[in-house]
Structure 1
């Protein structure tokens, strides 16, 4: 029997409880990504194609270490790689790392959510105009994302990761942070290099099976070319790395049909 999900955090920002967002069961703010069409893929990770997605909610921030600690406390799961070096006081608002795909999927399910599909992740990052980065097509600089901007970054512990919400000018038009850099993010899809060639144009779910799972967005150790919003990466679903974390998504409930009353 799985442990119950936590109640919503009463201290969650009020601005996220309005029309444009909700607070998830784990207390994390989620942002509404409206239904509609967007451009997916680019000339390298293509082909470029149009995709229609139903509305969904996406975590505004990558899942934080403090939230994952709460999940571990309520569930008997293996601790993330490098967990012994976490200082919860100093690192609680930094993204959790060292989790495999199954860990990420289990957390999202526990929180009443799910991992985003690859298409959902890309729409959240690229908006509807096929932009290169979440903030647009402008010049890439270190004020917009946490990445290896000078080619000299090395792993120096959790302090190399940014606290949630650090890059205000790097958020997407939906108001979602760190979709470029900081940590790679697991998504739901199995990886297939040619997936876009035969992908449905409406709510694609990715291949039904595969060897690797997709992760997106780049990390604090990624070079500039590796944090574009269309770039695809993959790894073993059982692999744990210091550069990979995740965020969750949630479907928008469809309204129940209005019952038709018989005429009198």
Structure 2
């Protein structure tokens, strides 16, 4: 009787430890998706309000042709050629710390940085693209960026034909911020008005800006006329070079021209590099 009792007890314990003999662990509940941004129309474009309370003002760039590139710049800027783009909306300013930080907290990324009114920096191409997707948009193509910066009258700088240290933050410009970033949209009033023909701010200097395009110094020799983008969905290549535009506070006046092109590897994070977003119309 004693032996039987011990054997029975052993079998009971064993049976409760076998697979399928106890409740299966349940998967953790999925986190709810973030509410979509709220989009409202404005006189010049749209305003986007996110669920974390940040707002973006985007300006409409109308459909139509413009002259892209330059024959008298650096070799990678030519040849000058006509490009036709569909309409789109582009951020009025570079993405600021005030816009980035609440997103980073909500999406469990490292929040960035102060001061809140300055452009967010140290953001790589992947992080920038993810932010724009969260906003309901994407990074601008190289062509979209250039049209927003120079308009249809072939401007060398967003405001005209010559560099002006009062209108942009670039190396040795003598402005209060030429040793670092300036607040976004600082250059927009009076003799400091550096906005483009469409009213877009910060398209010269302050920080280089990511675009969608893979970098190819000879791309203009074969790019299509309509809505060109040198982008082949190779998003997992960490060291693929992407086009950056606009120059930065550490760039010479020559490099903040509207046609100036440069390249950075996709995973690069630096204090001279930021971004802005576009939304398809």
When residues 56 and 152 of structure 1 are mapped into structure 2, their CA distance, relative to the original with a 3 A threshold, is: closer
Question: In structure 2, do the counterparts of structure 1 residues 135 and 8 end up closer, same or farther at CA, with 3 Å as the change threshold?
Answer: same
Residue of structure 1 in register with 2:66 after alignment: 38
Gaps (5+ residues) in structure 1? Answer: 10-15, 253-264
- Separation in structure 2 between the aligned mates of residue 154 and residue 131 of structure 1, nearest angstrom: 24
Call closer, same or farther: CA 1:106–1:174 in 2, change over 3 Å.
same
Quote the Cα distance in structure 1 between the aligned partners of 2:267 and 2:102: 22
Structure 2 residues without counterparts, runs of 5 or longer: 1-30
Deviations 1:140-189 (A, max 9, x none): 22210011135999986xxx311121111100010100000011000111
Alignment-derived partner of residue 124 in structure 2: 100
Aligned residues of 2:169 and 2:177 also touching (Cα < 8 A): no
Query: Structure 1's 223 and 151: CA in aligned 2 closer, same or farther, altered over 3 A?
Result: farther
Q: Distance in 1 between matches of 2:216 and 2:95?
A: 26
Q: 2:171 aligns with which of 140, 148, 166?
A: 148
* Map 1:133-172 → 2, pairs under 5 A: 133-137=157-161, 139-150=162-173, 160-168=180-188, 169-172=193-196
Q: Could you tell me how far 1:25 is from its partner in structure 2?
A: 3.9
Cα 1:53–1:148, aligned 2, differ >3 Å: closer, same or farther?
A: same
Match of residue 16 from structure 2: none
Match of 1:4 among 30, 34, 38: 34
Using the size of structure 2 for normalisation, the TM-score is 0.77
Of the three residues 38, 51, 54, the one matched with 2:83 is 51
User: Are 2:182 and 2:206, in contact at CA under 8 Å, matched by a contact in 1?
Assistant: yes
What is the aligned residue count? Answer: 234
Distance 2:187 2:63 in 1: 26
Q: Which runs of 4+ in 1 moved over 4 A?
A: 5-9, 150-156
Larger Rg: 2
Cα displacement string for residues 74-101 of structure 1 (whole angstroms, at most 9, x for unaligned residues): 113355xxx4xx33xxx11110000000
Q: 2:94 aligned with 1:66, yes or no?
A: no
Aligned to 1:226: 255
